[in-house]
Each structure stands twice: as structure tokens, then as C-alpha cells.
């Protein structure tokens, strides 16, 4: 069992306290209801949110990111109404209605156990207080955990800050050898959730160039309970080979509800390229790229020369090109052991009760299925929802203790033709759009 017995014991005691506190609260609060100030709403309204739930950051390179956040009792951090506004754009450009984790599925190699950390192992309840030092230069927001087991449901658990990411670009110009270069800046939004012996960092990185990178990092401690030297399915940790940490997978799912330019009627396209040997008369191999319009629900697989994009139904950039966001998968080890982990990408028609990639707790109707693979059943895509599955097979090593270094998994979505040029283009180079001719 992957249970941190200390945490469990503490948690159980805390539940007792909560009940007592609730009882006391009920008595104390028995006065006239009108005398009680209204509590802040737990979730923001569809289009707006109150200041406490708003994240707005103008990066020093000129791009502003705006979004609302809320905290879900199972999914943890949910980001909504995400938009950005690069310098020179008159309006904010909406990207996503909603972005959140869709599951973290953890099967152990020995077949003894598997966990669905979000729906079955209290991921959201395990929100951790952050030390001030772990959110340098930023703000730690207080999160009220719904149905909290703890006496105080408020956790200083949401960090929003900015970070440099190195060169955003570099170019030596043709006039006086001037070097154009700038350091890229990101808005970083993250939480830490303890699950058993592990701590998961859920990180969202909003870059000034419009790219969004989402990662889950696993740290904390190797599961003390999951050692076995007998079955050959682990790696020896500690002196000799008397104990082997059981290998396992972390299959992380993200659920993205796109709304490019504010519309959910996005189109999905898949691109594939094939490379052919040179034919007679050709000097080099040729590469041909084809587009496939994805009009029905999709269970897709990453491979070399394949990529997908979400295309705006309404918006065009200043060059008249349809705005879109490309899906950029990260490194993954696809786990073939379960129906819902067999594919890298699922695109489903929006359904408000389809929220978790496996063991979906909502009642979506008779025969609706409990996992994302079952929701891919041929519906036309008029409001596509993207599910990304990124797997990591964790064979422990001596260096995993103690604490365990963070191991990351995730992916990005990157703007493609959202703006007519690089949103960070310096004013002097603004004329160099398209097939420009050098000035001399
Ligand atoms: Cu692991």
C-alpha cells in the first residue's frame, strides 16, 4: 500500500476535530441568518471572477496573461478563462475556457495495486502550505479546500510568480551588426499536493510568447510500503539487494477546453508528413505534409512527423491567417495496460460531466462510461475537448532518496498564427513580415 501512515493518522485525527468544530460552529452561528456576512463565492462566474480568484500578470516583455482560478475537491487547481495580450494587440486573446488535470493514474509493475490519485486517493485534499521561500518574487494565495478534512480548510497553497527562461530570441541584424536579443519571461502558477508518500507539483507556465507549458512533477519520498525484493520487479535501494523499490508508472492526464477567440467551436486538424527517397532527377529526398480534418471524436497517437492543432472558428490574425494553437506533446512512455492509457491524445465532444480520464465520478447517464476512451464514440466535434496522456515509468534509483528529486512530465500548447509576427518582435524589426526584401 502506498500510504504514508503518519499522514493518514494525522488526517484521521483532523477529521474528528472537523466534526467537533462543525458542531460548535453550528451552535455559535445559530443567530439570525441575515446578520452573517455572505461568504465569498467558492467559484467564479462563467465569464468573470472576483479579485481574489483573478490572476493577472503583465510580464516585463509586454505580454499580459489573465485568468481565473478555482479549486476543485477532486481535480485541485482549475484555471479558467485564460487569455493573453501581447504588446501591440488591441484586445486580450482568449485561449482556453478551462485547463486542469484529468487524472494521475499510478499502476505498480507487480500488479498488486494501482491508484487513481485524483478521483480515488484524495489528491485535492492533500494541498500543501507553501513556505514563503518557494514562491520567490510572487504571491501565495490562500485556497479554501472544499469539504476539507482539516480543522482549517484554508491552505496557503497557490503560488503565482514570474520566472526567466533564458533567451526568447537572438538575432544579429544586418545593420552595424546590432544584436537583437531578449530574455523570455514566464508567469508561473503552481500548487503542491501530497498523495501518500509523494508530493505532486502541478505547474502551469504561461510564456510571454503565448506558449503554455503544463507539467506535473513528482517529489516527496519513495513509497515506504512498496518495497519487495522477491519478484524482480523493482530496483535495489539501500545497502545490498535486500529491498527493492517497486517500479510503477505515473500516467498524467490533462483536460483542456479550448475557446480560441472566445468560441468553443474550434476545428481540429492532424498533420502528417512522409519522407520519400529521391526519385530520378531529384537531388534530395522529398517530404510531403498532409492535413486531415478531425471532425469526429478521436483517440490519437503521437508519432514522428505528426502533430495536431486547434483552429479558431472565428479569429484571424492581422495577416488574415486563422488563429490556432498547436499541441506539442512532451516525452512520454505510453502505458498499454488500461483502455484509457492506450492513446496519447483523446479529443471528445464537450460534456460537462466528463471530467476525469478514468473512474469519472459523475453520473453521465446510462451506459455513458467512466473513462475517456469510452467517450470517443463517433460524435461530431462541435466543441472539442482535448485530453493529453503523458506517462512516466518510474524505476527508482539510489538518488531518489532523500527527498526524491522532482521528476517532470508534461507538454505544451503553442500559438500558431495567433499573431502576425513574433509577439516579442522589437519595434525596429516590425516591418520584416513575410517575404521582405533587405533594405540597403
Ligand atoms: Cu514514482
Separation of 117 CA from ligand 1 center, angstroms?
A: 12
C-alpha cell belonging to residue 67: 485568468
Kindly list the distances between the CA atom of residue 280 and the CA atoms of 59, 273, 283, 284, 289, in Å, as whole numbers in the listed order: 53, 21, 8, 10, 21
Residue 339 has what DSSP assignment?
A: G
Chain position carrying cell 453521465? 364
Separation of 211 CA from ligand 1 center, angstroms?
A: 28
Q: Rounded to whole angstroms, how far apart are CA atoms 49 and 56?
A: 12
What residues contact residue 230 under an 8 Å CB cut-off, 6+ apart?
A: none
Separation of 332 CA from ligand 1 center, angstroms?
A: 14
Q: Rounded to whole angstroms, how far apart are CA atoms 203 and 191?
A: 7
What residues contact residue 375 under an 8 Å CB cut-off, 6+ apart?
A: 297, 346, 348, 349, 351, 354, 368, 369
Separation of 387 CA from ligand 1 center, angstroms?
A: 22
436 part of a folded domain:
no
Q: Rounded to whole angstroms, how far apart are CA atoms 94 and 8?
A: 42
pLDDT tens-digit map of 93-110: 999 999 999 999 999 999
2 part of a folded domain:
no
Q: Rounded to whole angstroms, how far apart are CA atoms 79 and 359?
A: 22
pLDDT tens-digit map of 364-419: 887 889 999 999 999 999 999 999 999 999 999 999 999 999 999 999 999 999 99
pLDDT tens-digit map of 32-61: 333 444 444 444 334 479 999 999 999 999
Separation of 275 CA from ligand 1 center, angstroms?
A: 38
Q: What is the mean pLDDT of residues 214-219?
A: 98
Residue 323's pLDDT is 98
Separation of 122 CA from ligand 1 center, angstroms?
A: 17
User: Cβ–Cβ contacts within 10 Å for residue 187, how many?
Assistant: 26
What residues contact residue 420 under an 8 Å CB cut-off, 6+ apart?
A: 317, 318, 319, 321, 433
Q: Rounded to whole angstroms, how far apart are CA atoms 416 and 226?
A: 44
Separation of 222 CA from ligand 1 center, angstroms?
A: 7
Residues with CB under 5 Å of ion ligand 1 are 394
Separation of 220 CA from ligand 1 center, angstroms?
A: 10
Separation of 376 CA from ligand 1 center, angstroms?
A: 29
Separation of 249 CA from ligand 1 center, angstroms?
A: 7
User: Cβ–Cβ contacts within 10 Å for residue 384, how many?
Assistant: 24
438 part of a folded domain:
no
Beta bridge partners of 268: 294, 310
Residue 359's pLDDT is 96
Separation of 43 CA from ligand 1 center, angstroms?
A: 32
435 part of a folded domain:
no
Q: Rounded to whole angstroms, how far apart are CA atoms 385 and 297?
A: 9
Q: Where are the extended beta strands (E) located within 39-87?
A: 54-58, 64-72, 76-85
What is the average pLDDT score of the chain? 89
1 part of a folded domain:
no
Separation of 226 CA from ligand 1 center, angstroms?
A: 11
Beta bridge partners of 94: 83
Model-level pTM? 0.88
Residue 128 has what DSSP assignment?
A: P
Separation of 198 CA from ligand 1 center, angstroms?
A: 8
Residue 43's pLDDT is 40
- Name the more confident of 296 and 436: 296
Q: Would you report the helix, strand and coil content of the chain in percent, each value rounded to 5? A: 15, 45, 45
pLDDT tens-digit map of 162-190: 999 999 999 998 778 899 999 999 999 99
C-alpha cell belonging to residue 158: 497557490
Residue 439's pLDDT is 76
CATH of the domain at 198: 2.70.98.20
Separation of 405 CA from ligand 1 center, angstroms?
A: 10
**Residue 373, domain extent:** 8-429
Q: How many domains does the chain have?
A: 1
Q: Are 141 and 3 in contact (CB under 8 A)?
A: no
Give the 3-state secondary structure of residue 396. Answer: coil
Separation of 204 CA from ligand 1 center, angstroms?
A: 20
Nearest CA among 431, 429, 425 for reference residue 62 = 425
Give the 3-state secondary structure of residue 88. Answer: coil
Write a three-state SS string for 285-296: CEEEEEEEEECE
How wide is the angle at C-alpha 63 spanned by C-alphas 62 and 68, nearest 5°? 140
C-alpha cell belonging to residue 370: 467512466
3 part of a folded domain:
no
Amino acid at each position: 500500500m502506498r500510504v504514508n501512515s503518519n499522514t493518514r493518522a494525522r488526517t484521521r485525527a483532523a477529521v474528528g476535530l472537523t466534526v467537533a468544530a462543525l458542531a460548535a460552529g453550528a451552535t455559535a452561528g445559530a443567530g439570525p441568518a441575515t446578520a452573517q456576512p455572505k461568504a465569498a463565492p467558492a467559484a467564479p462566474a462563467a465569464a468573470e471572477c472576483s479579485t481574489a480568484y483573478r490572476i493577472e500578470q503583465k510580464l516585463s516583455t509586454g505580454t499580459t496573461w489573465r485568468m481565473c482560478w478555482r479549486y476543485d475537491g477532486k481535480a485541485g487547481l482549475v484555471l479558467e478563462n485564460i487569455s493573453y495580450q501581447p504588446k501591440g494587440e488591441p484586445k486580450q486573446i482568449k485561449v482556453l475556457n478551462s485547463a486542469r488535470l484529468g487524472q494521475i493514474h499510478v499502476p505498480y509493475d507487480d500488479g498488486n495495486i494501482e491508484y487513481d490519485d485524483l478521483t480515488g486517493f484524495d489528491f485535492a485534499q492533500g494541498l500543501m502550505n507553501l513556505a514563503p521561500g518557494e514562491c520567490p518574487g510572487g504571491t501565495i494565495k490562500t485556497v479554501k479546500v472544499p469539504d476539507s478534512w482539516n480543522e482549517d480548510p484554508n491552505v496557503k497553497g497557490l503560488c503565482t510568480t514570474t520566472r526567466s527562461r533564458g533567451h526568447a530570441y537572438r538575432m544579429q541584424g544586418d545593420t552595424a551588426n546590432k544584436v537583437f536579443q531578449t530574455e523570455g519571461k514566464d508567469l508561473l502558477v503552481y500548487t503542491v499536493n501530497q498523495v501518500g508518500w509523494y508530493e505532486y507539483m502541478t505547474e502551469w507556465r504561461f510564456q510571454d510568447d503565448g506558449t503554455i507549458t503544463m507539467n506535473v512533477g513528482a517529489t516527496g519520498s519513495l513509497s515506504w510500503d512498496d518495497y519487495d525484493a522477491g519478484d524482480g520487479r523493482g530496483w535495489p535501494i539501500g545497502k545490498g539487494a535486500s529491498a527493492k523499490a517497486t517500479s510503477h508508472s505515473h500516467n498524467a492526464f490533462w483536460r483542456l477546453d479550448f475557446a480560441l477567440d472566445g468560441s468553443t467551436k474550434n476545428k481540429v486538424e492532424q498533420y502528417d508528413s512522409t519522407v520519400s527517397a529521391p526519385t530520378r532527377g531529384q537531388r534530395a529526398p522529398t517530404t510531403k505534409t498532409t492535413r486531415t480534418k478531425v471532425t469526429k471524436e478521436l483517440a490519437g497517437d503521437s508519432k514522428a512527423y505528426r502533430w495536431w492543432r486547434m483552429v479558431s472558428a472565428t479569429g484571424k490574425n492581422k495577416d488574415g491567417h486563422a488563429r490556432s494553437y498547436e499541441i506539442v506533446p512532451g516525452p512520454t512512455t505510453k502505458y498499454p495496460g488500461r483502455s484509457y492509457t492506450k492513446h496519447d491524445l483523446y479529443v471528445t465532444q464537450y460534456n460537462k460531466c466528463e471530467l476525469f480520464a478514468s473512474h469519472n465520478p459523475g453520473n453521465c447517464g446510462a451506459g455513458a462510461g467512466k473513462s475517456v476512451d469510452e467517450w470517443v464514440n463517433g460524435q461530431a466535434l462541435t466543441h472539442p475537448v482535448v485530453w493529453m496522456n503523458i506517462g512516466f515509468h518510474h524505476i527508482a534509483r539510489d538518488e531518489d532518496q532523500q527527498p526524491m528529486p522532482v521528476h517532470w512530465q508534461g507538454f505544451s500548447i503553442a500559438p500558431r498564427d495567433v499573431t502576425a509576427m513574433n509577439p516579442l518582435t522589437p519595434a525596429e524589426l516590425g516591418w520584416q513580415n513575410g517575404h521582405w526584401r533587405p533594405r540597403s
